[in-house]
Amino acid sequence: MKVQIRKANDVTILDCIGDVDLYSSPHLRETLMEQMHAGNPAVLVNMSEVSYIDSSGIATLVEGLQLSRQTKTRFGLFGLKGNARSVLELARLHKVFAIFSDEPEALEKISSIEPFGGL
Amino acid sequence: MGGVEVTRIVTSNDPGLLQVLRGVVRYRAQQAGIAESDAEALAMAIDEAASNVIRHTYGNRHDARLALELWIYPDRMELVLEDSGPKVEPGEVRPRPLEDVRPGGLGTFFIKSFVDECAYEENFPAGNRLKLVKYFSRKVAPGDESPD
C-alpha cells in the first residue's frame, strides 16, 4: 500500500492506494499521526483506491479519529467503496466518522464540521 | 476429514504474506464457482484469523509457521488454520462490544460475522487448529458476471 500526501488549500489529503491490512496499516498509522501532530487544520483520507481493509486498518482510522480530538484537527474520510464501506458499516463506525462521498464534497464540507471528526 | 482437500499451504507468519493467504482463498473459491460475496467473506475471515495468530499467539514473532487448509464441499467451504503457538483458551477469544469505540478488538467480531461456524479443534496435540466454515449462499456458473 502507498500513502501519498498532498494539499488542497489548507486541507491535507492522504491518498491511500492498495490493501490496508496488518502489514500495511502501520505505514498508514505513522503517516496519519505525523500529519495530525504537524498542526494541519484538516486531514482527509482518500479511500477511493482502497479495495480491502481489515480490522487493523479500521483500528488505525479509529486511532486517527481519537488523535484528531486531541489535536483539534478536522478529520474525515471520502471515496469509501466495496469492502471498506461494508466493514465500517458492519462495525457500526460509519456514523462515528465524518464520511463524504467524494473529494469535492469532502473539501466543501470539511470546514463546516467540528474539529473532532464527527458530523 | 472427508470432502476434497483443495490446498494445504505452509508459510512463515510474516504479515506481508496475508495478501497471499487472501489471494489463495479467493482463487480457490472462484475456481469452485462460489459466489463472490462468499469468497470475499472467507478471504476476510482468514485474514483476521491469521492476523490474530501473528499478533497474539506468536506475539509478533516472525520466525514461526502457519498452515492453511482449504476444503470444499458441495454446500460449504472450510478453512483450517494451524499454528504451533501456545494453546488458545477459546473462552478468552471474545469480540468486544461495538459501542465501545476504540482501536482494536474487532478481528474476532469480523470473523464471527464472515463465517457460519468458527471453532478450535479440541484434541489437537500441539498448537492450535481453528476451523472456519462458510455455507454457500449459492454457486455461480463460470462466466457469470453478476454473482449475488
User: Domains of chain A (ranges plus CATH)?
Assistant: 2-112 (3.30.750.24)
CB pairs under 8 A between A and B: 60
ipTM of this predicted complex?
0.89
Check if the beta carbon of residue A62 is closer than 8 Å to that of residue B101: yes
Q: Which among B51, B103, B106 is the nearest to A22, CB-wise? A: B51
For A47-96, what is each residue's pLDDT tens digit? 999 999 999 999 999 999 999 999 999 999 999 999 999 999 999 999 89
Helix (H, G, I), strand (E, B) or coil at B122: coil
Return the minimum-mean-pLDDT range out of B13-17, B42-46, B52-56, B142-146: B142-146
Check if the beta carbon of residue B13 is closer than 8 Å to that of residue B58: yes
Residue in the structure block whose three cell numbers are 487472501 = B22
* Chain B interface includes A68 (CB < 8 A): no
Q: Which among A19, A55, A96 is the nearest to B101, CB-wise? A: A96
Check if the beta carbon of residue A41 is closer than 8 Å to that of residue A12: no
Determine what percent of chain A is predicted with pLDDT higher than 70: 96
Top residue of A19, A25, A55, A83 to mutate, by most chain B CBs within 10 Å, is: A55
Burial B47-83 (b: 16+ CB within 10 A, else e): bbbbbbbbbebbeeeeebebebbbbbeeebbbbbbbb
Tell me if the pTM is above 0.90.
no
Check if the beta carbon of residue B148 is closer than 8 Å to that of residue B137: yes
Quote the minimal CA–CA distance from B46 to chain A in Å: 11
**Residues 6+ away with beta carbon under 8 Å from B32:** B6, B72, B77, B139
CA dihedral B105, B108, B110, B116 (to 10 degrees): -160
Quote the minimal CA–CA distance from A80 to chain B in Å: 17
Q: Which among B47, B102, B106 is the nearest to A21, CB-wise? A: B47
Confidence band, pLDDT 50/70/90 cuts, at residue A117: very low
Residue B115 φ then ψ, to 5°:
-125, 165
The pLDDT, as a whole number, for residue B96 is: 64
Determine what percent of chain B is predicted with pLDDT higher than 90: 59
Put simply, the answer to whether B19 touches A22 (Cβ < 8 Å) is no
Name A17's bridge partners: A2, A49
Put simply, the answer to whether B104 touches A19 (Cβ < 8 Å) is no
Confidence band, pLDDT 50/70/90 cuts, at residue A119: very low
CA–CA dist A20, A32 (Å, integer): 13
Domains of chain B, each with CATH number or no CATH: 4-135 (3.30.565.10)
For B86-96, what is each residue's pLDDT tens digit? 988 776 666 66
CA dihedral A47, B45, B40, B31 (to 10 degrees): 140
In order of A62, A113, B72, B73, B119, the CA distances from A99 in angstroms are 13, 11, 39, 40, 36
Put simply, the answer to whether A21 touches B51 (Cβ < 8 Å) is yes
pLDDT exceeds cutoff 90 at B67: yes
* Chain B interface includes A38 (CB < 8 A): no
Q: Which among A22, A54, A66 is the nearest to B44, CB-wise? A: A54
Quote the minimal CA–CA distance from A9 to chain B in Å: 30
Q: Which helix (H) or strand (E) holds B95?
A: none
The secondary structure of A21-89, three-state, reads CCCCHHHHHHHHHHHHHCCCCEEEEEEEECCCECHHHHHHHHHHHHHHHHHCCEEEEECCCHHHHHHHH
Quote the minimal CA–CA distance from B2 to chain A in Å: 32
pLDDT exceeds cutoff 50 at A1: yes
Average pLDDT, rounded, for chain B: 85
Q: Which among B15, B103, B106 is the nearest to A23, CB-wise? A: B15
Residue B145 φ then ψ, to 5°:
-90, -10
First and final C-alpha spacing in chain B = 30
Q: Which helix (H) or strand (E) holds A7?
A: strand A2-8
